[in-house]
Chains A and B, each alone.
Chain A
Amino acid sequence: MTAPGNQTGTPCELLEWDSQHFGFPIARVLGSSLDCDAAGRVDEWCRANQVRCIYLLADAKDADTSRVAAESGFREVDGRLVIRTALQGLAEPHLGGLAGMEVREAAEAELGQLREIASVSHRGSRFFFDTGFPDARCAALYEAWIDRGFVDPDRTLWVATLDGVPAGYHVIGPAAPDGIRRLELLAVDPNRHGRGIGTALILSTMGALRGEGAEETWTILSPRNLPSIRLHERVGFLIESVQVWHHKWYDGG
């Protein structure tokens, strides 16, 4: 068997965390393109490894991969916008008008409420969109992300509170090899949208990164999440690249 993309490696890799979380084998196509031969090798590999769901992340401009993916049973489940901003000249957080609001690192006692917000705040993601994954496990994925943001020493979990009650969060990810930390997961309690909490959160976390000496940061958005796109554009993020997530299920997943 030959592998897509290169002639020596395997065409896919098993994703341990995803597989364990959802309770069945999940893998990802190595590389970002697919031709007909590669699609066949991916199928062989997935069947040999009893994979139920395979992810493919392709460049949005790659029309050939998009066509081959569709013809071989992949379904486009989300876009992935990579956006980046410099941290110089950053505005101070606009907390005026939001009496009783505080933005700071989260405390352990707040995790429960933050998990509740997380469980209902990412319904536009590719996991919920796919419908092959149980909703409860999708929600649990984002709840686990909150816990990881708090426990992982390389991550930071920020909280916005209104009158002492958690109203939103922002997870700052670990530094990549280039030293740049990514902004990972941002949400505001759906009952408190439209009050500037998201803006205050993002300006606070960007300010914290600048305080650490960071010169830039980046994050990933879904094109389905218009409020988040608008929020990031308003604080100066610029689009850098666009990719597309495709999922394929085996054995009637």
Chain B
Amino acid sequence: MAGASDEPSVPPCELLEWDSEHFGLAIARVTPGALTVEGPEAIDAWCRDRGVRCLYLCADAADAETTRLAAAHGFRVVDVRLIARRSYEGLLELSTGPELEAREATETDLAFARDLAARSHRTSRFYFDGNFPRDRCDALYEEWVERGSRDPDRRLLIGVLDGNPVGYIVLTPLGPDLEGHGELVAIEERHRGKGLGRALSFAEWRAYAARGALIQRGVMSLRSIAIIRLHEQLGFVTDEVQVWHHKWYGGLQTSRADG
């Protein structure tokens, strides 16, 4: 067993309290975002010492060495994420799509938003992993959308068509970099394919522009083709590609039958 002096000065991982509490098992994340040849052993030791069951690693897609090492040490790729940006210059002059009212969520909108959230993010890494209980994945997005309404730093916008709610978007706080970023968006299934996602995105961007945003950031799973296409059509250009890996310790959850 390694002595205290062999402990790395910077921990290789961090425990994720919210995720751990939500899923009911210890979850951590590799902090550097890259693996070295020596890294996996220290990471495994750190995780075993703390009873970690699932470990996330988010790495640069171009970092082939990290991806190779991750695969060789039991990580599995669960998502690839594009991060695209666009200046606000000329953005709000583009065609916004169909007429759609967007307003702040009220208490009565929350049931609609939670219900929609529970069924709208099924291609995310949590579902794709296959080892998180499906109902807890649903609940993750329900809670996320509700946080958009209750957190004073966030906003939850509801898209309204003919007086009925048809979708939502959660706005994150605008940081000192003046970069806007909507973190969760969904349109009701029966209204998809009509351009309402575009209309709701423009509502989001108008809200950020009113707060002084200069750049808009889109963070999209490669599995979300429609959202990526929307951003590409509007002149967003990809700045980063990240790969999410998950590794499970001590046997997997047995959630597959739940789904």
Q: A residues bordering B, Cβ < 8 Å?
A: 60-61, 63-64, 66-67, 70, 75-76, 79, 81, 124, 128-129, 131, 223-226, 229-230, 233-234, 237-242, 244
Residues of A near B239 (CB, < 8 A) are 226, 230
**Contacting pair B225 A233 (CB below 8 A):** no
Residues of B near A81 (CB, < 8 A) are 222
- Tell me the smallest distance from the CB of B216 to a CB of chain A, in Å: 15
Please name 23 pairs of A and B residues whose Cβ atoms are closer than 8 Å in the assembled complex, sorted by A: A60-B80, A63-B130, A67-B130, A76-B76, A79-B80, A81-B222, A129-B68, A224-B62, A225-B62, A226-B61, A226-B240, A229-B82, A230-B237, A230-B238, A233-B236, A233-B237, A238-B232, A239-B228, A240-B225, A242-B80, A242-B222, A242-B223, A242-B225
List 9 tightest A-B contacts by C-beta distance, closest first: A63-B128, A76-B77, A239-B228, A242-B222, A238-B229, A229-B238, A224-B61, A238-B232, A223-B241
Residues of A near B129 (CB, < 8 A) are 63
- Tell me the smallest distance from the CB of B123 to a CB of chain A, in Å: 6
Residues of A near B84 (CB, < 8 A) are 233
Assembled-state Cα–Cα distance A244/B61 (Å)? 14
**Contacting pair A79 B64 (CB below 8 A):** no
Q: In the complex, which residue of chain B has the Cβ closest to the Cβ of A222?
A: B61
**Contacting pair A234 B237 (CB below 8 A):** yes
Q: Can you add 4 more A-B contacts, CB < 8 Å, to A66-B76, A67-B130?
A: A66-B128, A129-B67, A233-B84, A238-B232
Assembled-state Cα–Cα distance A70/B245 (Å)? 13
Query: Quick one: which of B58-84 are within 8 Å of A by CB?
Result: 61-62, 64, 67-68, 71, 76-77, 80, 82, 84
Assembled-state Cα–Cα distance A164/B225 (Å)? 41
Known: A223-B80, A224-B61, A224-B241. Is A239-B232 also a contact (CB below 8 A)? yes
**Contacting pair A224 B76 (CB below 8 A):** no
Known: A76-B77, A124-B62, A223-B61. Is A131-B68 also a contact (CB below 8 A)? yes
- Tell me the smallest distance from the CB of B134 to a CB of chain A, in Å: 11
Residues of B near A233 (CB, < 8 A) are 84, 232, 236-238
Residues of A near B68 (CB, < 8 A) are 129, 131
**Contacting pair A61 B232 (CB below 8 A):** no
The reply to whether the CB of B168 lies closer than 8 angstroms to some CB of chain A is no
**Contacting pair A60 B223 (CB below 8 A):** yes
The reply to whether the CB of B127 lies closer than 8 angstroms to some CB of chain A is yes
**Contacting pair B241 A61 (CB below 8 A):** no
Known: A70-B76, A76-B77, A229-B238. Is A60-B61 also a contact (CB below 8 A)? no
Residues of A near B61 (CB, < 8 A) are 223-224, 226
Residues of B near A244 (CB, < 8 A) are 77
Residues of B near A131 (CB, < 8 A) are 68
Residues of B near A124 (CB, < 8 A) are 62, 64
The reply to whether the CB of B9 lies closer than 8 angstroms to some CB of chain A is no
Q: In the complex, which residue of chain B has the Cβ closest to the Cβ of A227?
A: B62
Query: Quick one: which of B220-234 are within 8 Å of A by CB?
Result: 222-223, 225, 228-229, 232-233
Residues of A near B62 (CB, < 8 A) are 124, 224-226
Q: In the complex, which residue of chain B has the Cβ closest to the Cβ of A71?
A: B76
Residues of B near A239 (CB, < 8 A) are 225, 228-229, 232
- Tell me the smallest distance from the CB of B79 to a CB of chain A, in Å: 9
**Contacting pair A224 B238 (CB below 8 A):** no
